[in-house]
Amino acid sequence: MNKKTTSVDCPNCQRSVEWKDENNFRPFCSKRCKLIDFGGWANELNSIPGESAYPALADEYD
């Protein structure tokens, strides 16, 4: 039996990850990395300043 395994690099920590059905977190190596990555961009979206966050800049670019 020749079982082919595909490996990808975890987008978060660049560790080699086996691409298989058992790995629910692929392409991440672990739940932790997946959450970190998701949390990362979620936080970025949430931290986009509203109008009141940078009043000085808002005035300058108005």
Rule CB under 5 A: which residues touch Zn ion? Answer: 10, 12-13, 15, 29, 33
* Minimum CB distance to Zn ion, residue 6 (Å): 16
d(CA 35, CA 33): 5
The token pair at 48 is 């986009």
**Number of CB atoms found within 10 A of residue 10's CB:** 18
* Minimum CB distance to Zn ion, residue 26 (Å): 11
H/E run at residue 57: helix 55-61
Of residues 5 and 12, the one with the C-beta less far from Zn ion: 12
Of residues 8 and 13, the one with the C-beta less far from Zn ion: 13
